[in-house]
Structure 1
Amino acid sequence: MKTLFPIIQMILAAAPQAMMRGAVLSVLVLLMGAALLGLSGWFITATGLAGIAGLGIAFDVFRPSAGVRFLALGRTAARYGEHVFTHDATLRALAFLRVRLLRRQVWLDSRALSRLRSEAVLTRIIADVDALDGVVLRLLLPAVAALATHLIVFLAIGWLAGWAIACALLAGYIPLAILIFWQLARRSIKPSDRAEKESQSLRRGVIDMIRNRQSLILDARLDDREADLLSLDGNIRKAAQQLDRAERGAALAITMLVTLVTACALGLGGWLVAQGVMGPAVGVIGIFVALALAETLMPLRRGIADYGKMAGAAKRIGYGEKEKPEKSKPKSPLCHENAGASPPVLAVRKAPLTFIIEPGEAVALTGASGSGKTSLLMEIAGLAESSGIAILGRAPADWPDSSLRDLVTMVPQRSVLLAGTIRENFNLAADVPESALWQALAAISLDAVIRERGGLDAPLGEAGAGLSGGQAQRLALARAIIRQPQLLLLDEPTEGLDEATADRVLSGIRRALPQTAILATLHRNANHPMFDRQIPLLL
């Protein structure tokens, strides 16, 4: 239960006044329901007795009937107000939670982001937040309202019909209801959590299958993938069946409990009437109130059954966890011969590969496909575990992420452009004057194309739709240029470019960044004059 406390606190704090009004109205609805049934039972019994006794004309039917109408209409109005206040407060809280969780993902450092699949993370966050919408509405609020109603009814029945009947109602409902719900939670927590996890896996699997359907068809694996998804769906159905059995069992137990408590109220009330302690009309109040109190228990059944799903979602979200302070890391030894000299921008000592790159140098890293060129760039950029690598004398893992990003910029083979204007895509990298943006575009021979499209405010579609693959790659290179890094890592920067364009792009990068150390992986154009030397990477 403690995993849900931060979520409950957040939801209650989102709109405390609205939630408090909703809680009061929830108790009022239950109390009016109990009072309505109790008053109706008393009224029916009293009028029947008055008719039998021949006192029907003298019996006052107006005030009790007015009370019945008031309670019926008031209960309807209170129920409407409860829904308005509690649902509005809960939706506000969940909207805040979604923004908070997405913002947390945005502020993760690049090392953590590299381990995340954006689709999987977004799908998980949406599903987990949706699972938490019942924490207050179906769990906390019904439980608090039920307990408060039973206590108030205990006092009212003790005053109206005697403390014997009041104690029978309280002692019959509270302990046994807690036992029933404890058993329901114990039986449902695992299948509820398992059903939620499998549902998220199925959702991600369907998204992946739709996105990769062409590859699956060409590889003749579409049927296999469909079978895997059907297996996941089967697991979800099995968990749902277990959950349904547990919930129906709890419903049966609650029904039996209501019957038992009502029978106790009937027997005790009849005995007290026979003893002359109270009249028949008062004696039946406990019976009808016992029936009305069943309304306090039924709403809890759904919330308790979903407890496993809610608790699992709260654990995965980790809302309210304190961030651990980053421990200071020792500096790595300098990876160059003369410890007294300034360290090189990049030093790599990974047997059998050993080289250094000084400011202003450009090195072409060559090798067959699969030899590990991209993996080496990822290690240098601090996006993978590394050893034998130093940037300005320190291992990438020893640099604070923000400082490392200022020093090192990497342009992967498949760069990401966002839907928006070209200027907005540049703003992701740095906030520089417009003239610097045009200089970067001119360096990679893209300025004329951008002007034809309408300039820096020309819109791009999702993933840079509207530009060709080569143009999108060059725009990513221009975005790297405006950062003016000390070390620039390029993964196949000329892939998809013709020879003339590749020559202009490489020359433009060198002119735009004369003091930057550049390491580029290449399958071709490694002999370009831009590069001071080549380093082969063998398998």
Structure 2
Amino acid sequence: MPRLGRRLPGLSFGVLADLSVVGLLALSMWLIVRAGDQPPILHLTFAIVGVRALAIGRAVFRYTERLFSHDAALAQLATLRAETFTALIPRVPGAIEGQRRGEVLAAFVDDVDQLQDEPLRVRQPLIVSGIVVGLSLVLVALVSVPAALVLTGLLGASLAVAVWCSERIAGASDRELSAARAALVDSLLERFAAAEVLAAFGAIGEQRARIAACESRLARAQLRRSRAAGLTGAVLALGSGAASLAVLWLLMPRVGDSLSTALFAAAVVVPAAVFEISAQIPAALAARRAVRSSADRVASLTEAPLPAEIPHEPGAVDDVPSQVAGDPAAPLVAVASLAARHPGASADAVRDVSFELRAGETLVITGESGAGKSTLALALVRFLAYRGSYRLRGVEADTLSGPQVRAIVGLCEQSPHLFDADLRQNLKFAREGASDDELLAVLARVGLAEWATDRGGLDTRVGEQGALVSGGQAQRIALARAILADFPVVVLDEPTAGVDREVADRLLRDLLGAVPDDRAVILITHTELPAEIQSARLHLPSRR
């Protein structure tokens, strides 16, 4: 929810807009009936001006209410998206692996967006309609207390029936809506991501059928909600007509005696305005069910307890440089008897690892597939918890927050992610303020200057997930990012995977040669290295 100070202007203008609706209907009816008596025009001037003012005010207040309320909700939504993304980051290495990609994407996009309905379509309508309906009932009570009591009773009964019908018909569909939406997103993602495989096995038709079934499921849930909304509107319309007739019947004997004809007419039409405004209440309660369902799905991703293998953020050390100033002789990285495992695993993926690394040094970690090389890389950047000792500049890594560790140790993954943008933007993710000259210089350092020039410079598109670049070029772009981010320690995880031997040797020489001399490099590989690459070696035994 946005803070009260951001919501208060929207609430205030919402009340004024709905009061204008009630006042416009009542004053218009009073003016029509009173004008039939043909009084002097001066006796009608205030009503004429009032009708015009309320008609204009209704539109102006409604627009202003939308402006303030949506501004507050959208500002809060931006914060909510960022906080949700931050909460998902430590869960990526294993805490959400049981969730399908479509479910995670739908929760992060659709369900988080659904939460903006809490201030817009739940809290605000309930508060505004409650205030305006209460004031309208007081207005009717000034004319006739029995009429106000009858109107209150019929309004309460109609709302109770409308809410019951909405809950009975649309309650299940509101809870089903998020799940149906996630299933559709998941089926679409699978269709796009596995298009070649589906075509090769002749399964495109089955996947299309699955997508159609998910669409039908979503359409059924939306249709049930529409039916419930229609029935709710019908119940309230029936209650509105009954209330108008009841007020008409109660006030009729007083017309011409203690009640003027014009005031009688105005009082009779007020129930219609009251029911129109109160129709927001069942809609708000229906929106609340959808919001709660989405909130539950988001919470299942972001608030579930982290596995023991996922680091918790203690934030014990706030300033990394202040911790290293007292021990300039400490190694940049010092690992002793380190062990780590993946969430849910019964055995360590890597254990008893020890090494030291200083600026300007290179360590090559080798081992067969499954020996735990990538697990070690995840532990070094604190995506996985570790046991043993792991110090950065003399500071134990588990006393630092994840962002602090990753400000020192940068990981170039085996399959680096490239965004569907130009080369400039893909590099600026590492340093937003970098100039074009700095970007071109780092491309030259990793051996991509000529390639980038031939392709159009920094405006070169790399395609969805780097579809327009080769695996070696993707690794060079990832290393350029690491150099721009100024990581003191760079971890290269299998940079030559899927590349033939001759190209792999050349790529390794280029990558290691591109790293500045004052950085430390950890190269993880399972292939033989060119003879001219001199470095310390660490072999991880197989755990099979």
Scaled by the length of structure 1, the TM-score of the pair is: 0.74
Deviations 1:114-141 (A, max 9, x none): 5689987665454346535555554445
SS for the counterpart of 2:25 is: helix
Residues 402 and 227 of structure 1: CA distance in aligned 2, closer, same or farther (over 3 Å): same
Q: Find 1:258's aligned residue among 237, 240, 259.
A: 240
Opposite residue 28 of structure 1, the aligned amino acid is: S
Residues 91-490 of structure 1 aligned to structure 2 (within 5 Å): 91-104=70-83, 111-112=90-91, 124-128=107-111, 130-132=113-115, 134-135=117-118, 138-159=121-142, 161-173=143-155, 175-180=156-161, 182-183=163-164, 186-187=167-168, 188-272=170-254, 278=259, 283=264, 285-313=266-294, 326-327=313-314, 345-350=334-339, 354-359=352-357, 360-368=361-369, 370=370, 372-387=372-387, 390-392=390-392, 397-418=398-419, 422=423, 425-429=426-430, 441=443, 444-450=446-452, 457=458, 459-462=460-463, 463=465, 467-481=469-483, 485=487, 487-490=489-492
Instruction: Tell me how far apart the structure 2 counterparts of residues 422 and 282 of structure 1 sit (CA, whole Å).
Output: 72
Residues 367 and 436 of structure 1: CA distance in aligned 2, closer, same or farther (over 3 Å): farther
Mean Cα deviation higher: 62-71 or 95-104: 62-71
Opposite residue 384 of structure 1, the aligned amino acid is: L
Mean Cα deviation higher: 256-265 or 132-141: 132-141
Pairing 1:28–2:20 present: yes
Corresponding residue number in structure 2 for 1:533: 537
Q: How far apart are 1:485 and its partner, in Å?
A: 4.7
Q: How far apart are 1:85 and its partner, in Å?
A: 1.3
Corresponding residue number in structure 1 for 2:343: none
Opposite residue 345 of structure 1, the aligned amino acid is: A
Opposite residue 314 of structure 2, the aligned amino acid is: K
Q: How far apart are 1:191 and its partner, in Å?
A: 2.8
Instruction: Tell me how far apart the structure 1 counterparts of residues 332 and 91 of structure 2 sit (CA, whole Å).
Output: 28
Quick check: 2:368–2:541 contact (8 Å CA) kept in 1?
yes
SS for the counterpart of 1:358 is: strand
Opposite residue 59 of structure 2, the aligned amino acid is: Y
Opposite residue 537 of structure 2, the aligned amino acid is: R
Q: How far apart are 1:83 and its partner, in Å?
A: 3.4
Deviations 1:437-458 (A, max 9, x none): 7776566444444455576x55
Residues 171 and 112 of structure 1: CA distance in aligned 2, closer, same or farther (over 3 Å): same
Q: How far apart are 1:258 and its partner, in Å?
A: 2.4
Deviations 1:308-349 (A, max 9, x none): 11334456668xx99x9953679xxxxxxxxxx979633455
Q: How far apart are 1:517 and its partner, in Å?
A: 5.3
Quick check: 2:103–2:185 contact (8 Å CA) kept in 1?
no
Q: How far apart are 1:412 and its partner, in Å?
A: 0.9
Opposite residue 290 of structure 1, the aligned amino acid is: P
Opposite residue 414 of structure 1, the aligned amino acid is: S
Q: How far apart are 1:364 and its partner, in Å?
A: 3.5
Instruction: Tell me how far apart the structure 1 counterparts of residues 111 and 400 of structure 2 sit (CA, whole Å).
Output: 34
Larger Rg: 1
Instruction: Tell me how far apart the structure 2 counterparts of residues 241 and 442 of structure 1 sit (CA, whole Å).
Output: 58
Residues 384 and 254 of structure 1: CA distance in aligned 2, closer, same or farther (over 3 Å): same
Q: How far apart are 1:216 and its partner, in Å?
A: 2.4
Quick check: 2:81–2:112 contact (8 Å CA) kept in 1?
no
Instruction: Tell me how far apart the structure 2 counterparts of residues 421 and 236 of structure 1 sit (CA, whole Å).
Output: 36
Pairing 1:12–2:1 present: no
SS for the counterpart of 2:492 is: strand
Instruction: Tell me how far apart the structure 1 counterparts of residues 103 and 532 of structure 2 sit (CA, whole Å).
Output: 44
Instruction: Tell me how far apart the structure 2 counterparts of residues 397 and 109 of structure 1 sit (CA, whole Å).
Output: 19
Q: Where does the alignment leave 5 or more consecutive residues of structure 1 unmatched?
A: 1-5, 48-57, 331-340
State how many pairs are aligned. 501
Opposite residue 493 of structure 1, the aligned amino acid is: P
Quick check: 1:30–1:295 contact (8 Å CA) kept in 2?
no
Q: How far apart are 1:23 and its partner, in Å?
A: 3.1
Deviations 1:189-227 (A, max 9, x none): 553232134224423432442233222222444344344
Q: How far apart are 1:534 and its partner, in Å?
A: 5.7
Quick check: 1:353–1:537 contact (8 Å CA) kept in 2?
no
Quick check: 2:73–2:116 contact (8 Å CA) kept in 1?
yes
Q: How far apart are 1:479 and its partner, in Å?
A: 3.1
Residues 519 and 285 of structure 1: CA distance in aligned 2, closer, same or farther (over 3 Å): closer
Residues 386 and 524 of structure 1: CA distance in aligned 2, closer, same or farther (over 3 Å): same
Pairing 1:493–2:485 present: no
Opposite residue 363 of structure 2, the aligned amino acid is: A
